[in-house]
Amino acid sequence: MKIQKEASQSSAQILLTTEKDGIKLIDFPDFLRDIYLLRIEMEIAPSQKEFEDTILEKLTA
């Protein structure tokens, strides 16, 4: 696997990917054990309602 080869040849101290992209490595369990998975969450600010109103406004324009 190209990523595994590049990682072993680099001076990286850790390997990091998102949980979403980590799923793509499920067929490589030995390699996946060496990678940190980052959970990313999203928060709508300033409010969920304002976000929804903006989306609806754009869709109905």
* pLDDT tens-digit map of 22-61: 999 999 898 888 899 999 988 777 888 998 999 999 999 7
Query: What pLDDT, on a 0 to 100 scale, did the predictor assign at position 16?
Result: 93
Is the per-residue pLDDT at 11 higher than 80? yes
Residues whose CB is less than 8 angstroms from the CB of residue 31 and which lie 6 or more positions away in sequence, other chains included: 1, 3, 4, 25
Query: What pLDDT, on a 0 to 100 scale, did the predictor assign at position 8?
Result: 85
Domain count, the chain: 1
pTM over 0.85: no
Judge contact between 56 and 36, C-beta under 8 A: no
Which domain, by its residues, includes 40? Answer: 2-60
